[in-house]
Structures are given as structure tokens and as C-alpha cells.
């Protein structure tokens, strides 16, 4: 198959939502339709009975939440689909933001009872800023929740989206009878428990047809006719161009746990979702159809298999063809590297692939060469941009709880920081190590992984820091900068890359420092961290 055909049959998307909206369950059901798994792991009341396929880290099984982005690939009707299931919990937002640089479109999952939640707003804003095409899936229709029109209004107002429903619920909660598929003009009836089987649909092209009354009863049929008339009057017709430009968002209704409304979503998705898109690099816009290979690292994961101490760098292929055992240029290190066993993913199951195309996610075994944001190419020196790194919001000293295991602790911290789980700062004054995270839950994850993956134990001590600011002096030899270093000595640290960082203990002290030393620039987002 030619490069063009391979690119045209690929869809790479991320699933984002607030925790508990049913994102991982939806991922499972999409895999079920793709024939990638035979039976889904039922995720119930935060205790995972079978364990959802995409939550493969032990701590995720225990907590019932996703803490790392999973990569899953499957085929559906001749289309190769790559799903990136992201963590919903706000403490792991950084992983999600980085993942959004590697997707071509997004499915936003919303809980019918809770509506639009805070984390969803933040993630959708990032997608909107980047004009990523979005499809909205309103989940858990078999539970009592908000009215369909109320939800659509809320999505428009809170998320600033222009929606158009492509399916519509028949009743809600206890009265839930099924879904009318506006996109395909048919009715899908809800039977209650359809965890394993996939529902049959009845075609209803004419809503006035008496077949509809026979299927769902006179009252429900009349109600549906009135509601669909209102939908046609209020919402614009679906426009594929507007969707691809990120200016219109189709909405589907369903219940992922009951495998309901998922097929409609998937069938429409493979028809309308974008194929791999061009990506901006610092030098130029790179088109996927170019013959020369290029890709970038958006995630690093250590110990995917605890039995083998392996580190995988996840690479999104942007252009050309990636081949096994062929040398490629690591742009930052200016070194040629060869990869004998590149992996394609199915949660923690991996397969070696000989050839990969734009849109694919490939896992490369890494001995410490890669950092997040690195570019690999056939030879051209380009740098992909837009992988954000934030100033942490929580800071703690990390102490070794087992002096016999200091080597393991140092290695573990080193590798986990490369993954982007958190950021490490070393105080200039006494060399103590400080870990900065976006959310407090990350400390638990670090502690757990250090113990179970590296055999090292650690304890934490609270540290009163308001913000970490990357320091950039106008003149490193100036008296002002020397005085700044002397006066603020106990607040100075170096990050993992040796960049100088000022750990401000309060907003007031930060403001006063900026006023007193105007020639010392402070960066809150380490833009030059990837330089």
C-alpha cells in the first residue's frame, strides 16, 4: 500500500474528560467493537473487577483512576485507529497536555448527571487554542441526569463550543428507551444489559412513520418528533469542514458501560475524523505526505514491564515512513540511532513493527537518550514545538528512607523525572533534592513506583515554596545579578538540566524580587526547557 493510502486510513485521537466521566470505559468499548478484545473489564464504583485494559499500571488498578496516558491501536473497517487514553485527574494534567500535542482529533466525554466539570473546561480550552477537531460524547444515559437540551446549552456556554447533535436520546434515566441516530437515520433500542453483545438497529428514515410508535410507544414517539424538530430549528446542520477546522463539534449520546451509542460514535468518527495533519516545527510546517521521516517524543515511560527494567520513549510519527533498523538523526544530540525492536501498542501488550506511518505511535527502547520534546528525523535538523512544561504548584524535600538503597533511589528519581512525572530541583546551598509537582497525588505515585519498580523507599518533608521561576539574567556578569545570587542564595536551585531556578516562598517575595532586580527575568513556564 502506498504512503498516501496508509496515511488516509489512519486516525489518531485522544479521549479527554473529568475523572469518572467514563473515559476508560469508553476506550474499552471502542476496542470491543474493533475486535481487539473479546470482553471488556467492567469498571464499577472505582474498584476495578477485571481491570480496564488501558489501565495497566498496578497503582491505577488499586485507585481505579488512570495516571498515565495509554496508547492503544486497533483496526475497524479497514481504518487503523490509534487511541491515546489520558488521565482525567487534574494532578496528572501535564501528561494530558503533552498528549494533546500528539493527537489529530479528540473525543470529549461528559457525564450526563454532572455536566461540564472544571477539568473538562481546561482541556477543551487547550484543544480550542490548537483548533483540534472535537466530538462530544455524553455518557451514562441510563442514569438520571440533566435534560439533553440543558446539557447542550451548558456545553455551548461553558466550553464555548458550537455543537450539533448527531444522535439524540429517547428518554433519560429510568425512562431511557434508546437513541435516535440523526447521522444514519435509525433507532437503536436499549435493552438494559448489553455488556457483551452489540445492539441491532431499526432504520427509521421517516419520523412520521408508525413504525416509530410501535417501537417506543405513542407518547415517547411524539416526544421524540417534537424534540428533533426543535434540534433542527436550533442547531446548524453538520458541516464536515467546520468540524475539521475546530469551529463545530458534533455531539453523541450513549452509555459506554452498557455498550450503547458507542457504535454510532465509532462509525461516524471513522468517516469524519481527520487523517494525520501537518505539524508546525520551529523551522517550517511539516506535511505528513513528505517522504522524509520525522517524529517527536511526547512521553517517556519507565518499567512498562516491571520484570524487565525497560524505558520506552513514545514517538508520534509526523511525516514519512519509520523503518526498523534504519539509522535516524536524534536532533538534540546530533547522533544517529538505530532501533532493532520498535513497538506498537495494545495497552501493556507490545508487538515489534517493521514499518510505521504518519499518525502511528511507536515505542522505542531507550537507554537514556531521549527527553520529552526530542525530535527524530531522516537527517534534517528540525525542532517540533508546543510541548508545554509548567511551573510546579507543590514542593517537597525527598529523603532516602533506606540508606542501603541510595543508588536505586537516585536512578529511580532520575528516570521518573525524565518521564515528566514531576520536576527535580537541587538546592545550591546544601544539595538537597526537592520534587515539584502539578498535583499532590503525584507524590503518592512517585513513592509507590520508587518502591515497586526500583526497590527504593523515600519520605517527604513539606517545603514552603510558592512558585519555581526559571532565571534568565540580561547580563550574568552584572553586579545586580551577583547581588541577586548572594541575597537569594538559600532560594536558588538547579533543575535537572542545570538551569538556574529561583524558588519563591510567597507571591509577595516574588513581586519584591522582580521589582528589586529588574534585569533578572523570571519564567513561569520553562519555555527554554526544551531548547
Q: Are residues 303 and 254 in the same domain?
A: no
**Rounded mean pLDDT, 501-512:** 91
The pLDDT value given to residue 44: 32
- Is residue 332 in a domain? yes
Beta carbons of 495 and 423 less than 8 angstroms apart? yes
d(CA 171, CA 224): 8
d(CA 361, CA 314): 6
Last residue in a domain, options 211, 240, 272: 272
The mean pLDDT of the chain is 81
d(CA 54, CA 27): 8
Q: Are residues 304 and 423 in the same domain?
A: no
**Rounded mean pLDDT, 304-325:** 78
Beta carbons of 317 and 293 less than 8 angstroms apart? yes
Strands annotated E in 18-119: 43-44, 47-48, 70-76, 79-85, 105-111
CB atoms under 10 Å from CB of 398, counted, come to 22
What is the end-to-end Cα distance of the chain in Å, rounded? 38
Closest residue by Cα to residue 359 from 316, 322, 328: 316
- 55-90 per-position pLDDT tens digit: 445 555 554 444 344 677 888 888 888 888 766 445
CATH code of residue 507: 3.30.70.3280
Last residue in a domain, options 272, 293, 311: 272
Q: Are residues 297 and 168 in the same domain?
A: no
- Is residue 384 in a domain? no
Closest residue by Cα to residue 19 from 70, 91, 84: 91
- 398-457 per-position pLDDT tens digit: 999 998 999 999 988 988 887 777 889 999 989 999 999 877 878 888 898 888 888 999
Q: Are residues 418 and 360 in the same domain?
A: no
289 has a pLDDT exceeding 60: yes
Phi/psi-derived region of residue 232, left when phi > 0, alpha when psi is between -120 and 50, beta in every other case: alpha
Whole-model pTM: value is 0.74
Q: Are residues 457 and 478 in the same domain?
A: yes
Q: Are residues 187 and 253 in the same domain?
A: yes
**Rounded mean pLDDT, 189-217:** 64
Tell me how many domains the chain contains.
Answer: 3
CB atoms under 10 Å from CB of 447, counted, come to 18
The pLDDT value given to residue 35: 66
- Is residue 345 in a domain? yes
d(CA 503, CA 465): 6
173 has a pLDDT exceeding 80: no
The pLDDT value given to residue 64: 47
- 228-277 per-position pLDDT tens digit: 889 888 999 999 999 999 899 999 998 888 878 888 899 899 999 999 99
The pLDDT value given to residue 129: 77
By the 10 Å C-beta count (0-12 exposed, 13-18 middle, 19+ buried), 338 is classed as: exposed
- Is residue 386 in a domain? no
Q: Which residue has the higher pLDDT, 458 or 190?
A: 458
Residues 6+ away with beta carbon under 8 Å from 97: 126, 388
Residues 6+ away with beta carbon under 8 Å from 380: 292, 294, 329
Q: Are residues 88 and 234 in the same domain?
A: yes
CATH code of residue 140: 3.40.50.300
Q: Which residue has the higher pLDDT, 146 or 274?
A: 274
Q: Are residues 77 and 183 in the same domain?
A: yes
**Domain that residue 162 falls in:** 3-272
Residues 6+ away with beta carbon under 8 Å from 222: none
92 has a pLDDT exceeding 60: no
**Rounded mean pLDDT, 36-49:** 40
Q: Are residues 199 and 150 in the same domain?
A: yes
Cell numbers describing residue 90: 487534574
Beta carbons of 359 and 104 less than 8 angstroms apart? yes
Longest dimension (CA), the chain: 87
- Is residue 313 in a domain? yes
Share of the chain above pLDDT 90, in %: 31
Beta carbons of 105 and 133 less than 8 angstroms apart? yes
Last residue in a domain, options 377, 407, 428: 377
Q: Are residues 88 and 202 in the same domain?
A: yes
- Is residue 447 in a domain? yes
Q: Are residues 208 and 59 in the same domain?
A: yes
Q: Are residues 411 and 346 in the same domain?
A: no
The pLDDT value given to residue 202: 65
d(CA 424, CA 436): 6
Q: Which residue has the higher pLDDT, 452 or 329?
A: 329
Amino acid at each position: 500500500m502506498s504512503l498516501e493510502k496508509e496515511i488516509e486510513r489512519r486516525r489518531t485521537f485522544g479521549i479527554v474528560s473529568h475523572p469518572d466521566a467514563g473515559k476508560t470505559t469508553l476506550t474499552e468499548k471502542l476496542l470491543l467493537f474493533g475486535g481487539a478484545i473479546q470482553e471488556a473489564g467492567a469498571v464499577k464504583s472505582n474498584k476495578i473487577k477485571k481491570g480496564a485494559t488501558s489501565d495497566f499500571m498496578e497503582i491505577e488498578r488499586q485507585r481505579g483512576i488512570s495516571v498515565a496516558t495509554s496508547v492503544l491501536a486497533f483496526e475497524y473497517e479497514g481504518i487503523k485507529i490509534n487511541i491515546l487514553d489520558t488521565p482525567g485527574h487534574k494532578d496528572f494534567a501535564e501528561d494530558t497536555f503533552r498528549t494533546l500535542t500528539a493527537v489529530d482529533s479528540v473525543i470529549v466525554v461528559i457525564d450526563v448527571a454532572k455536566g461540564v466539570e472544571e477539568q473538562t473546561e481546561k482541556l477543551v480550552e487547550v484543544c480550542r487554542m490548537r483548533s483540534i477537531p472535537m466530538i462530544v460524547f455524553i455518557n451514562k444515559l441510563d442514569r438520571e441526569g440533566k435534560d439533553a437540551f440543558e446539557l447542550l446549552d451548558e456545553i455551548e456556554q461553558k466550553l464555548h463550543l458550537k455543537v450539533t447533535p448527531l444522535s439524540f436520546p429517547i428518554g433519560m434515566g429510568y425512562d431511557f428507551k434508546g437513541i435516535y441516530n440523526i447521522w444514519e437515520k435509525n433507532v437503536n433500542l436499549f435493552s438494559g444489559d448489553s455488556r457483551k453483545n452489540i445492539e441491532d438497529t431499526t432504520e427509521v428514515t421517516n419520523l412520521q412513520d408508525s413504525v416509530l410508535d410501535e417501537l417506543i410507544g405513542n407518547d415517547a414517539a411524539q416526544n421524540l418528533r417534537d424534540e428533533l424538530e426543535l434540534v433542527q430549528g436550533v442547531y446548524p446542520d453538520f458541516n464536515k469542514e467546520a468540524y475539521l477546522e475546530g469551529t463545530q463539534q458534533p455531539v453523541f449520546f450513549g452509555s459506554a458501560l452498557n455498550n450503547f451509542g458507542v457504535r454510532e460514535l465509532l462509525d461516524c468518527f471513522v468517516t469524519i475524523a481527520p487523517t494525520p495533519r501537518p505539524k508546525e516545527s520551529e523551522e517550517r510546517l511539516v506535511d505528513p505526505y513528505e517522504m522524509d521521516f520525522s517524529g517527536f517524543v511526547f512521553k517517556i515511560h519507565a518499567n512498562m514491564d516491571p520484570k524487565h527494567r525497560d524505558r520506552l520513549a513514545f514517538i508520534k510519527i509526523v511525516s514519512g515512513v519509520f523503518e526498523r533498523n534504519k539509522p535516524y538523526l536524534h536532533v538534540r544530540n546530533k547522533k544517529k540511532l538505530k532501533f532493532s525492536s520498535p513497538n506498537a501498542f495494545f495497552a501493556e501488550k507490545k508487538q515489534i513493527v517493521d514499518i510505521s506511518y504518519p499518525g502511528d505511535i511507536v515505542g522505542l527502547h531507550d537507554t537514556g537518550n531521549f527527553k520529552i520534546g526530542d525530535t527524530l528525523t531522516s537527517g534534517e535538523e528540525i525542532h517540533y514545538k508546543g510541548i508545554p512544561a509548567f511551573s510546579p504548584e507543590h514542593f517537597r524535600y525527598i529523603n532516602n528512607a533506606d540508606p542501603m538503597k541510595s543508588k536505586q533511589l537516585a536512578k529511580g528519581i532520575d528516570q521518573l523525572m525524565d518521564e515528566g512525572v514531576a520536576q527535580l530541583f537541587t538546592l545550591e546551598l546544601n544539595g538537597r533534592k526537592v520534587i515539584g509537582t502539578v498535583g499532590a497525588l503525584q507524590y503518592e505515585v512517585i513513592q509507590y513506583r520508587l518502591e515497586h519498580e526500583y526497590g527504593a523507599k523515600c519520605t517527604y518533608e513539606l517545603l514552603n515554596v510558592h512558585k519555581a521561576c526559571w532565571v534568565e539574567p540580561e547580563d550574568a556578569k552584572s553586579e545586580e545579578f551577583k547581588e541577586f545570587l548572594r541575597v537569594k542564595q538559600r532560594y536558588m536551585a538547579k533543575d535537572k538540566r542545570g538551569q538556574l531556578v529561583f524558588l519563591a516562598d510567597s507571591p509577595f517575595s516574588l513581586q519584591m524580587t522582580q521589582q528589586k532586580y529588574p534585569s533578572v527575568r523570571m519564567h513561569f513556564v520553562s519555555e527554554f526547557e526544551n531548547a
